[in-house]
Amino acid sequence: MNVRPFRFAPERTRVGDFQERLARARQLPAAADPEGRLGIPGTELARLARQFAEFDWTAFAARVNEHPAFLVRRGDEEVHAVHVRSEAPEAQPLLLLHGWPGSFLEFRGLVSTLTRGAPAFHVVCPSLPGYGFSTRRLDGPCNVAAIAAAMVELMDALGYREFLVQGGDWGSAVGSELARRYPERCLGLHLNMVAIPPPPEGDAARAAVSAEEAQWLKDTQRFLAEGMGYYKLQSTRPQTVAVALGDSPLGLLAWIAEKYLAWSDRGANGRSLVADAAILDAVALYWMTDSIGSSMRLYYDEWHERAKPTRVEVPTGVAVFPREVARAPRAWVAHRFNLVHWSVQARGGHFAALEAPELLVADLRAFAATLAGLRRDRA
């Protein structure tokens, strides 16, 4: 497969167009809604829009290019990935998978730590097909199974036969499908979100729910009832909403920022643990790559051709963050996965790599140590 270096350079005309559209944007009348029950609070949107008016696009390009990146050609498509090898002799390959409305940039602050610490990893952090700099055709489906295959091909192209996988959101779904379909390639699967149905009626695992986990299920049900409107829209009419979001910087900011703010944990000051700068970078990347429509297409493709949730036998570790939008009881997870590592974290939400990076890294390393122990036991 063809692998070539990649560097991002923002187009001046596209930057100017963004700035002009943002300056002309109209904010419609809205109710005071500090809890965000109607959508993104107006004060939050206004604050972020003001920051975007002074956004440093040169500094943004430097952040995008902070680590070596490559484009791997697959037919008439290309997969973009950050790839940084560790100098540690015992380092293992690690595939980091993002979700929506995320990107490879969520892991930017983890790369150096993961390559230099102990245990160390050779880090591969791709943009999923249709996201950021990774392309995908829109005249046919590209669901979770297809993306899992693309990720295996990517690791082949970079020279890795076996590797660890870490993911949340769509990264969790892709990682799980990769482990399910290619168990001989996946050394271990680490997830910070597991969205699964309950075990069947009559199975003992279905009732094995602690008091804390029962509250998790209530929280998840509340999210499913009140927070899934975007999912229904993106899985049924993605191209309609993409027209509006791809034409309006303010609209794109509102759509994406609302998810970061609603799905994240809060600090002592009451503010989201996801920094404003990270939200602006996410929106800037979607705008500069015209990828909001192609990213949302994954919802449609998976909705119409879902992966079958058979049990994953690859050794699996799960880190549960308290503000994750969907949390499953341990017994339910063990019913679906070969669960060898489980932790409940002190803080963080859906965007663990941005909210609590040190906790995510520590848990990933603890999982890797567990896997090493299992290998020694088998030897």
Identify any residues that bridge with 69 across adjacent strands, giving them in sequence order: 6, 82
Q: Give dist(CA 249, CA 16) in Å, integer.
A: 12
**Residue 285, both tokens:** 């990347």
Residue reference for tokens 């998810």: 259
Active site residues: 169, 299, 350
Report strand pairing: 69-74 vs 77-84.
antiparallel
Q: What angle separates helix 249-262 from helix 276-289, to the nearest 10 degrees? A: 140
Instruction: Name the phi and psi angles at 142, rounded to 5.
Output: -145, 85
Q: Give dist(CA 61, CA 83) in Å, integer.
A: 17
List alpha helices for the chain, DSSP H. 12-24, 42-53, 57-64, 111-116, 144-157, 170-181, 204-207, 211-226, 229-236, 238-247, 249-262, 276-289, 292-304, 330-336, 352-355, 357-378
Residue reference for tokens 């199974």: 145
> Using an 8 Å Cβ cutoff, are 260 and 278 in contact?
yes
Q: How many CB atoms lie within 10 A of CB 98?
A: 25
Q: How many CB atoms lie within 10 A of CB 106?
A: 25
Q: Give dist(CA 34, CA 42) in Å, integer.
A: 8
